[in-house]
Amino acid sequence: MHHHLYPFERFPRNPILTKEDIPYPCNTVFNAAACKFQDKYLLVLRVEDLKGHSHLTLATSTDGYHFEIQPDPWVTPSPNPPFELYERYGIEDPRVTRIGDTYYITYTAYGPPGPRVAIGKTRDFETFERICLATEVDNKDAVLFPEKINGYYVMINRPSGMGGVKGSMWITYSPDLIFWGRSRVLLSPEPGWGGHKVGVSTPPLKTEEGWLVLYHGIRETAAGRLYRIGVMLLDLENPEKILGYCPHFIFGPEEIYERTGDVPNVVFPCGWIPEPDGTVKMYYGAADTCIGVAEASLENLLHVCRYEKHIEGKRDSR
């Protein structure tokens, strides 16, 4: 493999978390949000219980590889209206974004009406306060930008795409995190590795060149769905503007633990943590069954976002 085209290197002792690591009975653990909190690595794990409903449990680490898991779930489906109906079947796929001293968590609330995006917040990872159900039905894969842009909170999400329908990434704005609008399509599926659906994976990372974002692409194959990862760069001032994105996937299922599990052939990052040395740790669910970590340099990720222009430049100069 051309290393610069596939910037991520797996941690050799993956997976770092499996259901055997969870201190109470569960079906699987996967799709975890990630951040730094009080000088520790913190994961917000999606744990699927024995009923098949998901909740959130916290894990902390001093090195980013070996995690201690809290003995009890942190956030479970709300028993209170208006949230109870929409979270009845579980809380899924969290992403965490720090704005100021508050950690905002976007997650998929799943209930009888279908999946929708909800937002909650914490400052201490002890109390959790629900803010709102931010979207209508059939929406998931939501991340918040780590700062307001032109006075607005900004979110990327993925409306529709359920039941065989294709799904695009959208970007939407809010003055208060509750009312969302002025929505635009950011990126739609194109024939190829992400031909069926695309959805945002990780909260945007601010770089000098733009907002760096990982997203997943789903390809429908004769053997089922393949989930793989792409990267794009968005304009700092106008995040609707894609400055570049990689024409190929940069990370896909290869290892046994990514190829076999409850949902085979899935790598699904929900969080990444930038390091002082210019690298980033990406935490990803593998086959909806366990969690792995992989590392890349930010420079390499920015390079693959420029790659398409680089090739076009060569074509133009012929």
Domain with 15, as residue range(s), is: 3-316
Token readout for 236 is: 């700092």
* CA dihedral for 242, 99, 53, 88, sign (positive or negative): negative
Distance separating alpha carbons of residues 284 and 266, to the nearest angstrom: 9
Each residue's pLDDT tens digit, 16-50: 999 999 999 999 999 999 999 999 999 999 999 99
Whether 312 shows a pLDDT value over 60: the answer reads no
Q: Which helix (H) or strand (E) holds 313?
A: helix 298-316
Distance separating alpha carbons of residues 93 and 295, to the nearest angstrom: 21
Look over the chain and give the mean of its residue pLDDT values, rounded to a whole number: 95
Distance separating alpha carbons of residues 189 and 225, to the nearest angstrom: 14
The pTM score is: 0.96
CB 142 within 8 A of CB 134: yes
Each residue's pLDDT tens digit, 236-271: 999 999 999 888 999 999 999 999 999 999 999 999
| Helix/strand/coil for 202 | coil
Rounded mean pLDDT, 140-149? 98
| Angle (nearest 5°) at CA 101 between 272 and 202 | 20
CB 251 within 8 A of CB 215: no
Q: Which helix (H) or strand (E) holds 295?
A: strand 290-297
Each residue's pLDDT tens digit, 102-135: 999 999 999 999 999 999 999 999 999 999 999 9
Whole-number pLDDT of residue 154 = 98
Whether 307 shows a pLDDT value over 90: the answer reads no
Classify residue 17 by its DSSP letter. Answer: B
Cβ contacts of 296 within 8 Å, gap of 6 or more: 7, 8, 9, 279, 280, 282
Domains contained in the chain, number: 1
Distance separating alpha carbons of residues 85 and 108, to the nearest angstrom: 13
Whole-number pLDDT of residue 318 = 43
Return the bridge partners of 178, or none.
none
| Angle (nearest 5°) at CA 114 between 168 and 215 | 30
Cα R_g (the chain), whole angstroms: 18
CATH number of the domain to which 62 belongs:
2.115.10.20
Token readout for 207 is: 């770089």
Q: Is 289 exposed, middle or buried (0-12, 13-18, 19+ CB in 10 A)?
A: buried
CB 132 within 8 A of CB 84: no
Each residue's pLDDT tens digit, 58-97: 999 999 999 999 999 999 999 999 999 999 999 999 999 9
CB 156 within 8 A of CB 143: yes
Which is higher by pLDDT, 161 or 18? 18
161: left (phi over 0), alpha (psi -120 to 50) or beta: left
Residue 174: band (very low, low, confident or very high) from pLDDT cuts 50, 70, 90: very high
